[in-house]
Amino acid sequence: MPVAHILGFPRIGAQRELKTAVEAHWRGALDEAGLHEAARALRRRHWQQQRDAGLDFVTVGDFAFYDHLHNLTALVGASPARFGVGPSPGLADYFAMARGTPEQPALAMKKWFDTNYHYLVPELAADTRFALNRDWLLPEVREAQALGHRIKVVLPGPLTWLWLGEAEAGLDKLALLSLLLNVYWVLLAELKTLGVEWAQLDEPILSLDLPADWRQAFVTSYGELAGAGPQLLLATYFGDVSEHAAMLRALPLAGLHLDLVRAPQQLAQFVDEWPQDRVLSLGIVDGRNLWRTDLAAALTTLHAAQAALGERLWIATSCSLQHVPTDLRLERRLEPRIRNWMAFAVQKLDELALLKRALRDGEGSVWRELHVAASAIADRRRAPSTQVAAVRARVAALKPEHARRATPFATRHVAQQAQLRLPKLPTTTIGSFPQTDEIRAARAACKAGTLDAADYRTAMQAEIRSVVERQEALGIDVLVHGEPERNDMVEYFGEQLDGYTFTQNGWVQSYGSRCVKPPVIHGDVSRPCAMTVEWSTYAQSLTDRPMKGMLSGPLTMLFWSFVRDDLPKREVALQLALALRDEVVDLEAAGIRIIQIDEPTIREGLPLKQADRPAYLEWAVQAFRITASGVRDETQIHTHMCYSEFNDILPAIAAMDADVITIETSRARMKLLDAFADFRYPNDIGPGLYDIHSPRVPTREEMTALLDKALAVLPADRLWINPDCGLKTRGWPETEAALTRMVATARAARATLADATPA
């Protein structure tokens, strides 16, 4: 009889209860005991849902107040010395490291593989020491046991934790491995003492291209940990691990998990000759998307696997369900037809249970449920919205010239400068200004019908006016309207495009207490009417300075949405590119002289394996260029990317040929710029002068030091001055204080440059 389990459940709560509790705690409105009680209630509910569905284990260890990787850092006592919290951080220390303190910047945040989730980067030093902190995880294990659950504990694996850490200069991270393994060993031993039967160690780095010493480290690590505690299930996900099949088969594990949604082909490499004493867990239900599973197809795969594996077959989600929304039952406004194509986390539990029953008792025992599921899949396949002739024809008619501006950058630059007359080192911001409680309350009231659309528009226009006035007072050169009318930079556009739908409660955690509600691409995408022109022209009417139009680019729309899985991503990207191109052209026609097309996700979409990257980058760059290339030379196209890790894709970024790129660099202390300089990046660059993720206002000296670094490696007449990213999560006081210093930094640098210029 196959065991059914999940790799993890969304911790945030179907209605973001965790966010509410954590933020209340941060503002002092909920004490630590209250916060723990809210957390316990969520865990209790989520475990019960797994048990009620009929899963064989409830998964414990997937809960985190901020981030699960940071939980492991706390559990193994590896807090960076700079925080001075010692080996046993409490909750206040945990939050201090996550959010920063007046004295210390927060731990860096990075994208979790190719998802839109961010983890807190462990800081590793030669003198990092580890000690098991028994206040973490173990109480949750006892809590689940006290509720009578049969549990499987999940932890990030030691090698994934180390790999994702940032090492101080000169440190080989693997030098810390044996000390780290000691703590894992003790932890696993304690879990065994508590009666835990299974521990799932997540090692998604096995989906990356791993150097030989790291592959070897798997052999030593798991050799050492195998007998320490509960039976070990090593979980891989997000890609194909078949290149490691021989090594994985030889590890003394009790089981291995494979992601068959991302890499179904890898099953063949494992299923035959799988050791008799090992479990093979097959991730057949998609943990990354919200579509129903094609149960008939899944059963075909699983029957074959069962024939080979018998009792050793486990069935599971492909990865943790933390990447999908919690419960479809809360969606009361979705079009019923489209809703019927979906499964959120709770519904995916039911899918697993159903698959298990079909395998155990025969498909006849669940034929009704299978029939309902098959009808939904068939209905989706034949829905007219998934095949719109006009959209398909437009994509088919694309020609190389659609992806090319009329002249090279140097020519455009002259035309743009003649029109815009910007000073050296022009100052700008990335688009959003603080999304205040008042703005969100107005939007919530408008959605609830208690504020009519005209009054909402007036309120947003008042906000735009105030944002414009503030920027003029600050002396910023290129203004933005501040994006107050946008709930989110992707959801907002998704709400206006055909082929998209959106949810009421489809929240997924992005980082800490911040969530996003990705819109859903269910059909062919097109733009029924202009989306931003009215807001941008209103904003431009308030000032003589250039007002940047502000759009999310095709890749960002793709990767931050739930995407249909019945069409290659490239095709969806091209549909989006054409829809957004029309918006760019309309903005230009309405008198907007600078248009920013945000593409913070270009790196997120990068395949995890090197070999798959060139093909992706080709269509990704093409999609951006199609969006950007419908305008005259005089119209300046900006793009913006946060997350500074793109040294390895600089040729592709240059090939996007945006006139100006603004990038996040401040946390990496401008290291990225060396790469831009070495590469001789040809167009203009705005390296972020300050980190917007923290309320801390940087000093003039800090900004000047960063600007000096930029000026040392790039020509002054290529440089722009801006923050790292949008300011929507910040409050006004720190925003104005930081921007005042930023403008002053730019002015001082201009004066220095003028002094240095021979008369």
Ligand X SMILES: N[C@@H](CCS)C(=O)O
Residue 585 CA to residue 627 CA, distance in Å, equals: 9
- Toward Zn ion, which CB reaches closer, 77 or 600? 600
Give the DSSP per-residue string, 290-358: -BPP-HHHHHHHHHHHHHHHGGGEEEEESS-GGGS-S-GGG--SS-HHHHTTB--HHHHHHHHHHHHHH
* DSSP 8-state class, residue 598: E
Start-to-end C-alpha separation, the chain: 86
Residue 163: enclosing H or E segment and its boundaries? helix 158-164
Residue nearest to ligand LYWDKB7T (CB): 487
Site map 715..744 versus ligand X, x via CB under 6 A: ----------xx-x----------------
- Toward ligand X, which CB reaches closer, 432 or 536? 432
Binding residues vs ligand LYWDKB7T (CB under 6 A): 116, 435, 437, 440-441, 443-444, 487-491, 510, 514-517, 560, 600, 729
200 contacts which partner out of ligand LYWDKB7T, Zn ion, ligand X, none, CB within 5 to 8 A by kind?
none
- Toward ligand LYWDKB7T, which CB reaches closer, 24 or 226? 24
Q: Does residue 657 sit in helix, strand or coil?
A: coil
Binding range to ligand X, per CB under 6 A, among 342-350, 426-434, 577-585, 736-744: 426-434
Binding-site member from 489, 508, 557, 672 for ligand X (CB under 6 A): 489
Residue 730 Cβ, how far from ligand X at the closest point, in Å? 10
Residue 234 CA to residue 391 CA, distance in Å, equals: 44
State the Cα torsion 153-159-164-168 to the nearest 10°: 130
Nearest CA-CA partner of 320 in 147, 609, 63: 63
- Toward Zn ion, which CB reaches closer, 526 or 639? 639
Residue 8 Cβ, how far from ligand X at the closest point, in Å? 27
Residue 695 Cβ, how far from Zn ion at the closest point, in Å? 17
Residue 101 Cβ, how far from Zn ion at the closest point, in Å? 24
Q: Is 642 in the site for ligand X (CB under 6 A)?
A: yes
- Chain positions 35 to 74 lying near Zn ion, rule: CB under 5 A, are none
Q: Is the distance from CB of 248 to CB of 201 less than 8 angstroms?
A: no
Residue nearest to ligand X (CB): 726
Q: Is the distance from CB of 533 to CB of 591 less than 8 angstroms?
A: no
Q: Is the distance from CB of 486 to CB of 535 less than 8 angstroms?
A: no
Nearest CA-CA partner of 425 in 140, 22, 750: 750
Q: Is 600 in the site for ligand X (CB under 6 A)?
A: yes
- Toward Zn ion, which CB reaches closer, 283 or 431? 431
Residue 108 CA to residue 640 CA, distance in Å, equals: 19
Long-range Cβ contact pairs of 192-196 (< 8 A, separation 24 or more): 192/228, 192/229, 192/230, 194/138, 194/141, 194/142, 194/145, 195/145, 196/141, 196/151, 196/152, 196/153, 196/229, 196/230
Nearest CA-CA partner of 679 in 714, 629, 712: 714
Q: Is the distance from CB of 630 to CB of 575 less than 8 angstroms?
A: no
Q: Is 439 in the site for ligand X (CB under 6 A)?
A: no
431 contacts which partner out of ligand LYWDKB7T, ligand X, Zn ion, none, CB within 5 to 8 A by kind?
ligand X
Return the residue matching tokens 């035959």.
272
239 contacts which partner out of Zn ion, ligand LYWDKB7T, ligand X, none, CB within 5 to 8 A by kind?
none
Q: In the structure encoding, which two tokens stand for residue 662, read together? A: 């603004």
Q: Is 442 in the site for ligand X (CB under 6 A)?
A: no
Residue 457 Cβ, how far from ligand X at the closest point, in Å? 21
95 contacts which partner out of ligand X, Zn ion, ligand LYWDKB7T, none, CB within 5 to 8 A by kind?
none
Site map 500..539 versus ligand X, x via CB under 6 A: ----------------------------------------
- Toward ligand LYWDKB7T, which CB reaches closer, 441 or 751? 441
693 is catalytic: yes
- Toward ligand LYWDKB7T, which CB reaches closer, 491 or 657? 491
In 642-700, DSSP assigns E strands to: 660-663, 684-687
Q: Is the distance from CB of 496 to CB of 531 less than 8 angstroms?
A: yes
Q: Is the distance from CB of 430 to CB of 471 less than 8 angstroms?
A: no
488 contacts which partner out of ligand X, Zn ion, ligand LYWDKB7T, none, CB within 5 to 8 A by kind?
ligand LYWDKB7T
68 contacts which partner out of Zn ion, ligand LYWDKB7T, ligand X, none, CB within 5 to 8 A by kind?
none
Residues β-bridged to residue 562: 520
- Toward Zn ion, which CB reaches closer, 496 or 729? 729
- Toward ligand LYWDKB7T, which CB reaches closer, 488 or 583? 488
Residue 114 Cβ, how far from ligand LYWDKB7T at the closest point, in Å? 13
Nearest CA-CA partner of 676 in 635, 710, 704, 627: 710
Residue 416: enclosing H or E segment and its boundaries? helix 409-420
Binding-site member from 430, 525, 628, 706 for ligand X (CB under 6 A): 430
Annotated binding-site residues for L-homocysteine read: 430-432, 483, 598
Residue 503 CA to residue 505 CA, distance in Å, equals: 6
- Toward ligand X, which CB reaches closer, 515 or 749? 515
Catalytic residue among 68, 118, 244, 693: 693
Annotated binding-site residues for 5-methyltetrahydropteroyltri-L-glutamate read: 16-19, 111, 116, 514-515, 560, 604
Residues 6+ apart with CB under 8 A from 675: 647, 650
Nearest CA-CA partner of 638 in 594, 672, 680: 594
Residue 217 Cβ, how far from ligand LYWDKB7T at the closest point, in Å? 31
Binding-site member from 207, 269, 432, 540 for ligand X (CB under 6 A): 432
Q: Is the distance from CB of 352 to CB of 373 less than 8 angstroms?
A: no
Q: Is the distance from CB of 235 to CB of 6 less than 8 angstroms?
A: no
Q: Is the distance from CB of 566 to CB of 523 less than 8 angstroms?
A: no
Return the residue matching tokens 């688009």.
431
516 contacts which partner out of ligand X, Zn ion, ligand LYWDKB7T, none, CB within 5 to 8 A by kind?
ligand LYWDKB7T
Annotated binding-site residues for Zn(2+) read: 640, 642, 664, 725
* DSSP 8-state class, residue 687: E
550 contacts which partner out of ligand X, ligand LYWDKB7T, Zn ion, none, CB within 5 to 8 A by kind?
ligand X
Q: Is 263 in the site for Zn ion (CB under 5 A)?
A: no
Residue 113: left if φ>0, alpha if ψ -120 to 50, beta else—which one?
left
User: How many binding residues for Zn ion (CB under 5 A)?
Assistant: 3
Residue 596 Cβ, how far from ligand X at the closest point, in Å? 7
Residue 605 Cβ, how far from ligand X at the closest point, in Å? 14
- Chain positions 538 to 557 lying near ligand X, rule: CB under 6 A, are 550
* DSSP 8-state class, residue 580: H
Q: Is the distance from CB of 605 to CB of 620 less than 8 angstroms?
A: yes
- Chain positions 581 to 610 lying near Zn ion, rule: CB under 5 A, are 600
- Toward ligand X, which CB reaches closer, 431 or 518? 431
Residue 382 Cβ, how far from ligand LYWDKB7T at the closest point, in Å? 30
- Chain positions 619 to 658 lying near Zn ion, rule: CB under 5 A, are 642
527 contacts which partner out of Zn ion, ligand X, ligand LYWDKB7T, none, CB within 5 to 8 A by kind?
none
Binding-site member from 14, 725, 727, 749 for Zn ion (CB under 5 A): 725
* DSSP 8-state class, residue 451: S
Catalytic residues: 693
Q: Which residues bind Zn ion (CB under 5 A)?
A: 600, 642, 725
- List interacting residues with ligand X (CB under 6 A): 430-432, 489, 550, 598, 600, 640, 642, 725-726, 728
